[in-house]
Copies of this chain bind each other. A is one copy, B any other.
Amino acid sequence: MTAFVIVGHRARTDGNFSVNDLPGAGRMDVLCRAVNASFFLSHDLRRDVTCYLVLCGEPAPPKTIRFDGSTLRSLSPDERSAGSLIKKALSTVCGSEFREAAAGVFVRKGGLDRLLTEIPVAVLDEQGTDIRTAPHLPDAFLLSDHENFTADEEAFISTSPRFSVGPKCLHADHTITVLANELDRRSAGWK
């Protein structure tokens, strides 16, 4: 099992946005692409992946959406498809425990601080250990959207291991794709 956690610092926390303007919903497009990168193979979904979106924008922050590859359905590769599932989750009344809003898509109130008590994550960081040279890779990775982690978030992850995917700073979705490729290679015995 692999988990990807992506923080959307300004991503809206209700369903009152248009899938025709995902950037306008607090850069929800960044999160939609991260969902795509987490799950899609050429003609399949990665069933052993969980993707968490931590949404910190108005009007009801924070909320956490969980996509479970094992039961996920109705996800197409285009941004609007992930956007529609996020919108459905954010339109679902929820409390402090995960509630299923669509097949394989769950939502709850609460943010990164709680999630990190449940899942120990490694952080993607340009100064981290190269993923290709690390003897072992962890099961869960934390990424930020287009903004840096806040000071509060940095405090939560100050002791987390840090990994780098390469010499250039990439978007979150591209980072997930490179990570998934490294994990695929290790699973298959490729170098």
Residues of B within 8 A of A77 (CB): 29-30, 33, 171
On whether the beta carbons of A166 and B184 are closer than 8 Å, the reply is yes
- Give Cα distance in the complex from A155 to B159, angstroms: 55
On whether the beta carbons of B76 and A23 are closer than 8 Å, the reply is yes
Residues of B within 8 A of A130 (CB): 190-191
On whether the beta carbons of A78 and B29 are closer than 8 Å, the reply is yes
**A163-185 vs B: 1/0 string, CB under 8 Å?**
00111111100100110110011
The answer to whether A42 has its CB under 8 Å from any CB of chain B is: yes
On whether the beta carbons of A166 and B190 are closer than 8 Å, the reply is yes
**Using a CB-CB cutoff of 8 Å, which residues 128-183 of chain A contact chain B?**
130, 132-133, 146, 165-171, 174, 177-178, 180-181
The answer to whether A79 has its CB under 8 Å from any CB of chain B is: yes
The answer to whether A11 has its CB under 8 Å from any CB of chain B is: no
On whether the beta carbons of B40 and A174 are closer than 8 Å, the reply is yes
Closest 5 A-B residue pairs measured CB to CB?
A167-B188, A42-B169, A29-B78, A177-B177, A174-B177
